Amino acid sequence: MYDKLLNISDASKLLGISPSTLRRLEKDGIVEGYGLKVIYTHGGQRRYMLDEIQQLYMQHGFSGQIGFGKRPAILIRDLTLAFTDPNSKLTIDFTRY
């Protein structure tokens, strides 16, 4: 049904925020505004689609307000390139999730 699903711990690591912050952002309706759908298991656990997190990085880089409320993370565009360039040591390996 869905491609790769991540638990809240793995999703929050990729997003650079704590699991509790991710829960709060979902409760406040902010998560869906960034194109992330929260999927609940039969046991009530949250799951996030890896493809949507990757898409979030491609669209917004690392400079969005996700997780930081009124204090946006301000990062230089070069950091986005460093984290997405396959030859960079800073690249996030999405395949390990």
Q: What CATH number labels 5-90?
A: 1.10.1660
Distance between CA atoms of residues 79 and 5, nearest Å: 26
Mean pLDDT of successive 10-residue stretches along the chain, which has 97 residues: 86 87 89 89 95 81 49 50 72 74
The continuous run of DSSP H or E covering 40 comes out as: strand 38-40
What is the pLDDT at residue 29?
A: 87
Domain boundaries, the chain: 5-90
Apex 86 CA angle, 54 and 51, nearest 5 = 15
Nearest to 11 by CA among 58, 42, 57, 44: 57
Tokens representing 54 are: 């990757």
